[in-house]
Amino acid sequence: MKDVAESCGVSIATVSKAMNDHSDISEETKQRIRRTAEKMGYFPNLAARALKTNRTYNIGVLYEDEAHSGLTHEYFASVLEGFKAESESRGYDITFINRTVSNKTMSYYEHCKYRGLDGVVVACIDFYEPDVVALVNSSIPTVTIDHVFKNCTSVVSDNYTGMEDILRYLYNMGHRKIAYLHGESDTEVTKTRLTAFYETAASLGLEIPPEYVMECDYCHVQMAAIRTSRLIKMTDRPSCIIYPDDMTAISGVSEIKRSGLSVPGDISVVGYDGGLLSELVNPPLTTIKQNTSQIGKLAAIRLIETIESYAQNSQETPPVRREVVEGELIPGKTVRKMN
């Protein structure tokens, strides 16, 4: 900064103001200083900036799905890409947090403090775990994805409307024997979808036999194949099976074909998520396309709003919000029109 100041004939304070876009110097001076800094290869010292502003411009991501699929999980990979893109466009870096640092075990909260993180987004984890609850209840700004806490902002996909749209579509296509393989029962997503499934079925006058509804872990293709086999071997088998995600739906299609039946001629299939895989399979999957990029983007916007409000010691902190992002039914080719 001293070298840039000398080259431009201004004070170090003026260089600092120009680089931080302060309003009390002219735009012409800002541009002249920035051009000079760029030519001289100037980069701000983040450690010094953190000491002065008490902010690291670093956001933590707490993400650990039960299937341990990591960033190969198509839905959450897309959500986190949206979060990352929006955060970086606003000048923030991303750090994944866990409970082991330099072979030392610590809580999620301790890891956030150790890294000096300005805030954290929590996605796809056991939200009832004490460590997660402690982090959400701490002073660190937090936003959750697909789970709702009373004391922090959440961004969720509209799972109720998504499931309602599926059932109404199937009903209009003539289906009355509808099975549902749902995800893990203790998750907020599954609870919402199950509520929508039964309430919509009741409103349409559909009777759902208990044996038509089974638990199937998200993205667990082996479990999906076993559950599908059980359903299609029933004497009074369903005409359509709804799956918790596209991966399990594709596994179900394979199992149905292995048994000598066809999709959708003998059994119709519906997935959930609307990722790239749903378009590549044959036939293309009927599914709900979730707006993953918007979910991630909104999570970043709301978290950074809270971070910057705290940094400015604002008397009015942003309100706790529940952002609901709508999906879209993609008809595909895996649902048969019944007579």
- Tell me the average pLDDT across 21-39: 87
**In the chain, what are the domains?**
2-44 (1.10.260.40), 58-156+293-324 (3.40.50.2300), 159-290 (3.40.50.2300)
| Residues recorded for the chain | 339
Distant-in-sequence, close-in-space partners of 52: CB < 8 Å, separation ≥ 6: none
- Tell me the average pLDDT across 67-84: 81
pLDDT of residue 140: 92
C-alpha gyration radius of the chain: 25
- Tell me the average pLDDT across 89-101: 88
For residue 127, give the 3-state DSSP assignment: coil
pLDDT tens per residue across span 298-329? 999 999 999 988 777 656 677 889 999 999 99
pLDDT tens per residue across span 120-166? 999 878 888 999 999 999 989 999 999 999 889 999 999 999 999 99
Q: Name the band, by pLDDT with cuts 50, 70 and 90, for residue 236.
A: very high
pLDDT of residue 20: 75
- Distances from the Cα of 2 to the Cα of 6, 7, 127, 291, angstroms: 6, 9, 49, 47
pTM of the model: 0.81
pLDDT of residue 319: 84
pLDDT of residue 40: 84
What gap in Å lies between CA 24 and CA 13, rounded to an integer? 11
What mean pLDDT, rounded, does the chain reach? 90
Residue 263 has pLDDT above 90, yes or no: yes
pLDDT tens per residue across span 177-225? 999 999 999 899 999 999 999 999 999 999 999 999 999 999 899 999 9
Q: Name the band, by pLDDT with cuts 50, 70 and 90, for residue 37.
A: confident
Q: Torsion angle of alpha carbons 59, 63, 69, 73, nearest 10°? A: -70
